[in-house]
């Protein structure tokens, strides 16, 4: 069920990411690694989608040549308005989208940082609305 408020919707995606890791991630407390990349990847995708929902609520990112905006389009729009948010998005893109979502890095520290960055971006976007 999609919510009307995009910030609430983004927060719901973050909750889904945390729940995915908690219930399916099978954390090894000794190594602090999740046992299955599949769930780390899923959580990374949830987190990155949360960020995109929050960014779309604040920025009208359009592209002339592609049907969907690229990360470069988002970065360009963000850079015009909030340099600190741009730093969060740069770090978040690498952590959530690439390291978690594609590489499936199983480190709990990486996953925790992804959640922290997503929450920081969402909070900053909420303040800009």
pLDDT tens sequence across 47-67 = 999 999 999 999 999 877 888
Cα separation, 72 vs 63, in Å, equals: 10
Which pLDDT belongs to residue 120? 98
pLDDT of 64: 76
Decide if pLDDT at 78 tops 70.
Answer: yes
DSSP one-letter code for 96: I
Report pLDDT for 67: 84
Using the 8-state DSSP alphabet, how is residue 25 labeled?
S
User: Could you state, in order of their start, the residue ranges of all structural domains in the chain?
Assistant: 6-128
6-128: which CATH topology? 1.20.120
Q: What percent of the chain has pLDDT over 70?
A: 98
Q: Which residue has the tokens 């978690």?
A: 100
SS3 helix, strand, coil % of the chain, rounded to 5?
70, 5, 25
**Residue with the larger pLDDT of the pair 11 and 2:** 11
- Residue 34 phi, psi (nearest 5): -80, 145
As a whole number of Å, the CA-based R_g of the chain is 15
User: Which of 14, 16, 6 has its CA nearest to residue 125?
Assistant: 6
What does the pLDDT read at residue 63? 78
């Amino acid at each position: 069920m999609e919510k009307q408020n995009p910030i609430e919707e983004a927060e719901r995606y973050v909750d889904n990411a945390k729940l995915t890791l908690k219930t399916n991630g099978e954390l090894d407390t000794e190594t602090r690694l999740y046992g299955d990349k599949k769930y780390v990847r899923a959580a990374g995708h949830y987190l990155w989608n949360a960020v995109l929902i929050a960014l779309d609520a604040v920025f009208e990112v359009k592209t002339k040549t592609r049907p969907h905006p690229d990360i470069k389009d988002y970065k360009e729009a963000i850079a015009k308005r909030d340099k600190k948010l741009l730093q969060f998005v740069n770090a978040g893109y690498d952590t959530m989208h690439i390291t978690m979502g594609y590489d499936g890095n199983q480190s709990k520290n990486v996953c925790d940082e992804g959640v922290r960055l997503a929450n920081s971006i969402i909070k900053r976007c909420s303040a800009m609305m």
